[in-house]
A and B are shown apart, each in its own frame.
Chain A
């Protein structure tokens, strides 16, 4: 994937995470910020994040791959999404 597209994808996911899951304006979320292990996104909410990714990128991520580790940062999420794009 081209770097421009990758950055766009990261930005898209980052914006979604901030708008949907972060209540505290003082919290700074970056591409590397842990999301699950930090508690910003809990395991139940991970399901809505999964649905967002599948809708947005028109992919299907198998439940076995939707692990807390794979969702633990925007970088990890984008890496996961990339595996299922163009399949």
Chain B
């Protein structure tokens, strides 16, 4: 299973920055797949929803490197899937650390792009080979950066082993954090505000009635 998870880390990085663009790198997909691999799909599904909403509030334009929500989802999902979250406090602590590290992880993509530029400017490498090397670099980045953060996370949780354990209701925290982020997502949707809020409230009401 560990080998599968490492290979998946590479695929996520390729899908996100180099090739495919088929959503394998979206947090909800990552959490679900890791959840299925680690036999913990329900818990991870809620983590996936929270991080997916966070990631959706961003658009990839031009040379800009978007927030590395895939990194966040992978690290948290693998650690949660392996059963290291023994309390809500540990989940929140790791979430906090990984949000900060996410910016550093995004920066590694800059190195890959610089390497791609270096290879291109050499002017002697055939285009097909440049494409192949670019995909390989993205894969390599994935299998190094993501699992390294998982090990770091596990190390931090091991350090707090037996202490700093508060709360066991994971779901309520992920659900209400998701609701908070949904406010951002709603604002992010770009059509005339008044109709947007009316439509949203209508959906909210209908869902409430049905449930």
Determine if chain A interacts with chain B: no
Chain B residues engaging chain A, CB cutoff 8 angstroms:
none
